[in-house]
């Protein structure tokens, strides 16, 4: 479900439910293995733990608890999990020197067996039996140099079965406990005998047999087996050194122990060591072009990320400079951006007749700053984002009166997806609103997508509205492209359509619709979209566009990047019959 596969299944004692492990993301998208219970008859799945980092569960005889393996921060331990409330209790202490694997509970629930790897025993995997009441632990004798894995209890709790790799063979062995005795090989195969699972009555066991054509499920009759058969006992071991790497060669001498020293006292990380990286980006369309040059700085974990950019280009493009930074040391990201830009849409290249941009009402210089707080979290397949802040701008329109504009803004969005095999369904809903002294502007976008493998269809609808007494540059604009020089709140009233010149449409009420078809054999998705302002005529266009976006990657010193490249044909006035090309890059800290 949702693209996350269940793993490591184990039947609960009642035979009606299965305990399994599934990797689930935390709020920041990191995956943690957790325990789930599947009730087979009702198909109900219940999550038992959260961010517990548990693997290889094995339920106790009453089904109310289980042993599991916890690997966290490089430490390994065996834990006991209450299946009623998800509480976790340590059975062994977490350690980096010993690695545990595949804990299995005895039928009476009093003992556990698990595979254990330690440098103290020569680096081999061995089996250990632990009394769960007293904590006493003992090793099970195994052939010299053998590797032991996949332990399983017999139904009466007197024998442990396991896979043993020794002398070039991988076979199932029996380890008698009550009474104790030497291990007994049960198979001898040129392939491998893996993952033994005895039947409760002790008369047989199942195992996976690996042959040249793959894995088979096999059943071995255990009736009367109490000692090695002559055929197995007298087979010679294969020479180890000549068959490497198919057979493990003799172990090298142990390495020199690491020198032990006191850990020096720590010190506050602060903003970390700042590393610089040059930036070069830009955008080009049929109407204008701009080149951006600057530098990005920040620490290796991305607590503080900043960039300084300058841009210049054709007469109708964005020109100016910006300094932006984001601090991610708290649950809420704090960001600011200072800018000083000039934009002259009336001087764009190409045919502008009949567009609001031609009149020059959108030509302006603006400088100011934005302060933003953003909360972004991942919950399973769902991502939530909430942002808010303020924008101050001093605007100098060409041929108009200089004005100071202060506004507050709020952005919110939710995106989720579901999948079954290679098929998927995705939904997205976002909203934004800006409030100034003389106007209000708000809008939203609804997206629905479905697909299978590399093919998919995505539909989206966007509405925008401005109220009050907005100036021309406060209205909703259609056309143009984004820029790294201005913050998102300064561009909130613009519907970026790189195929159209900036200011192609201008008004109070906007409606846009887009359909995007992705086909695996095409290099970019096909799209059809149309735009309408104030209940006027539709402006339609179609083409193909490839989009690429990544979040900041501080370890390689790259800021957030939004990249678009495409081509489209316009079907309606004022650009009817034009074929337009574009390439757009936007950078954010």
Q: Of 124, 118, 117, 157, nearest to 142 (Cα)?
A: 124
Q: Mean pLDDT over residues 10-17, rounded?
A: 94
Q: What is the pLDDT of residues 450-462, one digit of tens each?
A: 999 889 999 999 9
226 band by pLDDT with thresholds 50, 70 and 90 = very low
The contacts of residue 72 (CB under 8 Å, 6+ apart) are 53, 94
Q: What is the pLDDT of residues 366-398, one digit of tens each?
A: 999 999 999 999 888 899 999 999 999 999 887
Q: Of 176, 170, 53, nearest to 113 (Cα)?
A: 176
Residue 61 scores a pLDDT above 60 = yes
pLDDT of amino acid 449: 96
Q: Mean pLDDT over residues 431-455, rounded?
A: 95
Tell me which of 377 and 227 has the higher pLDDT. 377
> How many C-beta atoms lie closer than 10 Å to residue 458's C-beta?
18
Q: Which two tokens stand for residue 520?
A: 């695996």
Give counts: helices (H), strands (E), the chain. Answer: 1, 38
pLDDT of amino acid 322: 97
Q: Mean pLDDT over residues 62-88, rounded?
A: 94
Q: What is the pLDDT of residues 139-172, one digit of tens each?
A: 898 888 788 999 999 999 999 999 999 877 899 9
Tell me which of 215 and 315 has the higher pLDDT. 215
3 band by pLDDT with thresholds 50, 70 and 90 = low
Q: What is the pLDDT of residues 275-326, one digit of tens each?
A: 999 999 999 999 999 999 999 999 999 999 999 999 999 988 999 999 999 9
pTM metric for this prediction: 0.68
Question: DSSP letters of 206-222?
Answer: EEEEEETTEEEEEEEE-
* Four-point Cα dihedral 84, 89, 91, 93, nearest 10: 150
Residue 33 scores a pLDDT above 90 = yes
How many angstroms separate the CA atoms of 345 and 367, rounded?
17
The contacts of residue 569 (CB under 8 Å, 6+ apart) are 541, 542, 543, 577, 578, 579, 580
The contacts of residue 114 (CB under 8 Å, 6+ apart) are 69, 78, 100, 101, 102, 103, 104, 127, 128, 130, 151
232 band by pLDDT with thresholds 50, 70 and 90 = very low
Residue 542 scores a pLDDT above 80 = yes
234 band by pLDDT with thresholds 50, 70 and 90 = very low
Cα atoms in the Cβ-side hemisphere of radius 13 Å centred on 233: 8
241 band by pLDDT with thresholds 50, 70 and 90 = low
pLDDT of amino acid 247: 61
Percent of the chain with pLDDT over 70: 94
Q: Mean pLDDT over residues 260-282, rounded?
A: 91
Residue 255 scores a pLDDT above 60 = yes
pLDDT of amino acid 246: 59
SS3 for 20? Answer: strand
Specify the DSSP class assigned to residue 29: S
pLDDT of amino acid 7: 94
Question: DSSP letters of 336-383?
Answer: EEEEEEEE-GGG-SS--TTSGGGGTTT-EEEEEEEEEEEEEEEETTEE
Percent of the chain with pLDDT over 90: 72
How many angstroms separate the CA atoms of 244 and 524, rounded?
48
68 band by pLDDT with thresholds 50, 70 and 90 = very high
Q: Mean pLDDT over residues 454-477, rounded?
A: 95
pLDDT of amino acid 230: 41
How many angstroms separate the CA atoms of 498 and 510, rounded?
17
Let me know how long the chain is: 589
pLDDT of amino acid 258: 86
The contacts of residue 78 (CB under 8 Å, 6+ apart) are 67, 68, 69, 70, 91, 92, 100, 103, 112, 114, 130
Q: Which two tokens stand for residue 497?
A: 């359509």
If you average pLDDT over every residue of the chain, what do you get?
Answer: 90
pLDDT of amino acid 222: 86
Tell me which of 251 and 487 has the higher pLDDT. 487
Q: What is the pLDDT of residues 405-420, one digit of tens each?
A: 999 999 999 999 998 8
Residue 233 scores a pLDDT above 50 = no
Tell me which of 431 and 235 has the higher pLDDT. 431
Q: Mean pLDDT over residues 103-109, rounded?
A: 95
Q: Please, what is the end-to-end C-alpha distance for the chain in angstroms?
A: 34
Q: Mean pLDDT over residues 559-586, rounded?
A: 94
């Amino acid at each position: 479900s949702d693209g996350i596969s269940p793993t490591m299944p184990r039947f609960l004692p009642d035979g009606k439910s299965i305990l399994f492990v599934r990797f689930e993301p935390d709020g920041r998208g990191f995956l943690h293995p957790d325990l789930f219970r599947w009730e087979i008859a009702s198909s109900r799945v219940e999550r038992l733990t959260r961010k517990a980092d548990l693997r290889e569960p094995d339920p106790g005889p009453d089904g109310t608890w289980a042993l599991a393996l916890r690997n966290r921060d490089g430490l390994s331990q065996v834990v006991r999990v209450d299946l009623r409330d998800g509480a976790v209790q340590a059975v062994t202490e977490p350690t980096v020197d010993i690695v545990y694997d595949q804990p299995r509970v005895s039928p009476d629930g009093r003992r556990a067996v698990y595979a254990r790897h330690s440098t103290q025993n020569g680096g081999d995997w061995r089996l250990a039996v632990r009394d769960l009441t007293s904590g006493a632990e003992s090793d099970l004798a195994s052939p010299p140099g053998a590797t032991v894995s996949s332990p399983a209890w017999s139904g009466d709790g007197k024998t442990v079965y396991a896979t043993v790799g020794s002398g070039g063979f991988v076979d199932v062995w029996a380890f008698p406990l009550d009474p104790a005795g030497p291990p007994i090989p049960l198979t001898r195969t040129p392939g491998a005998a893996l993952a033994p699972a005895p039947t409760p009555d002790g008369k047989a066991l199942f195992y996976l047999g690996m042959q040249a054509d793959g894995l088979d499920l096999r059943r071995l009759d255990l009736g009367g087996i109490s000692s090695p058969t002559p055929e197995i006992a007298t087979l010679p071991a294969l020479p180890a050194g000549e068959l490497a790497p198919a057979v493990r060669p003799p172990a090298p001498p142990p390495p020199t122990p690491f020198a032990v020293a006191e850990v020096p006292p720590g010190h506050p990380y602060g903003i970390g060591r700042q590393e610089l990286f040059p930036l070069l980006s830009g955008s080009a369309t049929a109407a204008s072009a701009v080149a951006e040059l600057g530098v990005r700085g920040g620490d290796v974990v991305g607590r503080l990320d900043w960039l300084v950019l300058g841009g210049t280009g054709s007469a109708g493009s964005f020109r100016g400079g910006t300094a932006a930074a984001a601090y991610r040391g708290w649950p809420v990201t704090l960001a600011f951006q200072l800018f000083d830009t000039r934009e002259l849409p009336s001087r764009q290249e190409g045919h502008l007749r009949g567009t609001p941009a031609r009149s020059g009402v959108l030509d302006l210089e603006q400088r100011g700053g934005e302060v933003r707080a953003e909360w972004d979290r991942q919950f399973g397949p769902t991502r939530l984002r909430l942002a808010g802040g303020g924008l101050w701008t001093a605007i100098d329109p060409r041929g108009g009166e200089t004005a100071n504009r202060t506004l507050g803004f709020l952005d919110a969005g939710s995106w989720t997806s579901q999948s079954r095999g290679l098929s998927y369904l995705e939904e997205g809903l976002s909203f934004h609103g800006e409030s100034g002294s003389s106007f209000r502007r708000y809008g939203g976008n609804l997206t629905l997508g479905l697909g299978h493998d590399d093919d998919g269809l995505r539909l989206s609808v966007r509405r925008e509205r401005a109220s009050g007494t907005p100036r021309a540059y406060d209205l909703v604009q259609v056309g143009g492209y984004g820029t790294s020089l201005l913050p998102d709140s300064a561009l909130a009233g613009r519907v970026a359509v790189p195929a159209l010149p900036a200011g192609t449409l201008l008004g109070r009420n906007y409606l846009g619709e887009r359909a995007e078809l992705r086909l695996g054999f095409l290099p970019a998705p096909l799209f059809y979209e149309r735009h309408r302002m104030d209940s006027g005529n539709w402006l339609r266009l179609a083409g193909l566009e490839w989009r690429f976006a990544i979040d900041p990657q501080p370890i390689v010193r790259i800021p957030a990047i939004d990249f678009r490249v495409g081509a489209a044909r316009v079907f309606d006035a004022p650009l009817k019959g034009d074929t337009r090309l574009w390439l757009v890059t936007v950078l954010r800290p």
